[in-house]
Amino acid sequence: MQIFADIAVSIVSVIVVAAYGWSVRGHFASPKTPPGAWGISALVTISTLLLLGLVWMVEQPFPALLAGLALELLSAALFIAAVVASRQAQLRFAFDPQHPHGLVRGGPYRVVRHPFYVSYIMFWTGWTIAAWSPISMFIPPAFVLTYWLAARMEERNFAASALAPHYQTYKEDVGFFFPRLGRR
């Protein structure tokens, strides 16, 4: 049973990372790749190699494999929902210094302002749980910090754009990475 769980985690993980790779060219639109986005690519590559190796070299508790896989699948569903909701918006890469030209409020954007980043954090956390190794424990905090910094930069870009008043209202209604309880 362990081998099938290792295979499932590996296949799902590689497919999700490939989908992230597709999104860089197939979904997001920036004139050039910002240095911060290159940093994310390096972090993704290193984390992928480490976690894939750990899944196959270290014995994990079966419940950890299942829990990690479930979180990865939930993150993939959120990622797909964010792609569908923002398909026409021509969102920019993470760390792009240019001002946004549109505001997405549908789909998962009704619940959190940064659903892509939330999906990425969920995915890396899920894979870390599945790998079940102290060596990998730095990965989720590294991605949380990275995506928090990217999201804060995007929020500053919105605040400096013509969309500032609309984004301010949106911020009052919708949570950053977590849903806002008691919203309007």
pTM: 0.94
Question: Can you say how many angstroms the Cα of residue 36 is from the centroid of all Cα atoms in its chain?
Answer: 15
Between these two residues, 182 and 47, which has the higher pLDDT value? 47
Alpha-carbon distance of 125 to 108, in angstroms, equals 19
109 exposed, middle or buried (CB, 10 Å; 0-12, 13-18, 19+)?
buried
118: left (phi over 0), alpha (psi -120 to 50) or beta: alpha
DSSP class of 135: G
Phi, psi of 33, deg, nearest 5: -80, 120
pLDDT tens column, 15-36:
999 999 999 888 988 888 899 9
Q: What percent of the chain has pLDDT over 70?
A: 98
pLDDT tens column, 75-114:
999 999 999 999 988 899 899 999 888 899 999 999 999 9
Phi, psi of 169, deg, nearest 5: -65, -40
Confidence of residue 183 (pLDDT cuts 50, 70, 90): low
pLDDT at residue 143, rounded to an integer: 98
* Domains, the chain, with CATH or none: 2-173 (1.20.120.1630)
Taking a C-beta distance cutoff of 8 angstroms, is the pair 92, 153 a contact? Answer: no
Confidence check: pLDDT of 184 > 70: no
Summary mean pLDDT of the chain? 94
